[in-house]
Amino acid sequence: MAAPDRLGSQTAGAAGAMHLPGRHLQAFLEMLVAERNAAANTVEAYRRDLENFTGFLARRGTRPETADGEAISAYLAQMSRAGMAPRTTARHLSAIRQYYRFLVGDGVRVDDPSALIDSPRQGRPLPKLLTEHEVDRLLTAARSRKGADGTRLAALVEMLYATGLRASELIALPLAAVLRDTRVLMVRGKGGKERIVPLSEPARDALARYLERRAEFLPKNGRRKESIWLFPSYGGSGHLTRHRLAQLLKELAIEAKIYPSKVSPHILRHAFASHLLDHGADLRSVQQMLGHADISTTQIYTHVASERMKALVRDRHPLAAVGAGRSRARKPG
């Protein structure tokens, strides 16, 4: 579920602003925690989306317990008129569907009015990417940083680009993960699944230089206190946080003369996958290294490569300009 959107102020109105979670909605949110082990942010997103929906229904003089399919369609239509992206509308509809399944399962309703509502059509967005040249500039900027901070930053960037790890996977790597064999990493990913990811020679070199200075990042209580984490920190988690990692990359992007919005841990993960495929890696191997459960998730990078090849032919092929000239010549003056 995503961050707050503009819908709250446009659909709920005064009624929505004063509306408190009803007992059925509260029970649904409690179920998400108890049965699905949903994270606090996820529960909050469901609550927000469903309260927007409930506020909209209140303005029409009805409630989720009595609303029909027409009311749900009207809500989605209002989202569209408010300028919401199809992806946002689909997210709200997903929350509504799950809520109605809960109401039916709990005997509050005998029917599910959301069952026949079609999801908004949405194209799958292609991931943002960095070119190989831009990654080189990032790495050069990181290596030019002085002191222990620069050594750590170079190791972080090298490892992100060499492995395609998620930010959460990188920051939570235990020290033991690299002490056994620096040629590979044993990574614990989503759902506790483990996978082996090879480390490139530049990443191994950057990691070795960082390990020589790692002690400088250990928390101090009178003296340095050892940590189980590869990237220890003073925070409550004991290791570098995702927020701080993203912050460091934004700062580095500015130094490398790249728009900060183009650089994040996840975009480096995209670059890892896309550049591997560009250089002939097979899709199944990339899937395994990324830790994707379904190869269809990995296939998005083949679409990226296809779009890039189309752009290359369009912009660089010697006959492209000739073709464009012919097209212009055919247009009526």
Token representation of residue 28? 């649904």
Active site residues: 166, 190, 266, 269, 292, 301
Residue 321, C-beta contacts closer than 8 angstroms, at least 6 positions apart: none
Instruction: Give which of 232, 185, 203, 199 is closest to 143, Cα–Cα.
Output: 203
Local structure of 58: helix, strand or coil: helix
Local structure of 201: helix, strand or coil: helix
> What is the rounded distance in angstroms from the CA atom of residue 32 to the CA atom of residue 19?
21
For residue 230, count CB atoms less than 10 angstroms from its CB and return exposed for 0-12, middle for 13-18, buried for 19 or more: buried
**Looking at the DSSP assignment, which residues form a beta bridge with residue 198?**
184
For residue 249, count CB atoms less than 10 angstroms from its CB and return exposed for 0-12, middle for 13-18, buried for 19 or more: buried
Instruction: Give which of 244, 262, 275, 255 is closest to 138, Cα–Cα.
Output: 255
> What is the rounded distance in angstroms from the CA atom of residue 92 to the CA atom of residue 45?
10
Under 8 Å between Cβ of 102 and 38: no
Token representation of residue 231? 């990237």
> What is the rounded distance in angstroms from the CA atom of residue 319 to the CA atom of residue 188?
50
Residue 126 Cα distances to 133, 302, 304, angstroms: 20, 10, 6
Instruction: Give which of 115, 88, 89 is closest to 100, Cα–Cα.
Output: 115
Local structure of 7: helix, strand or coil: helix
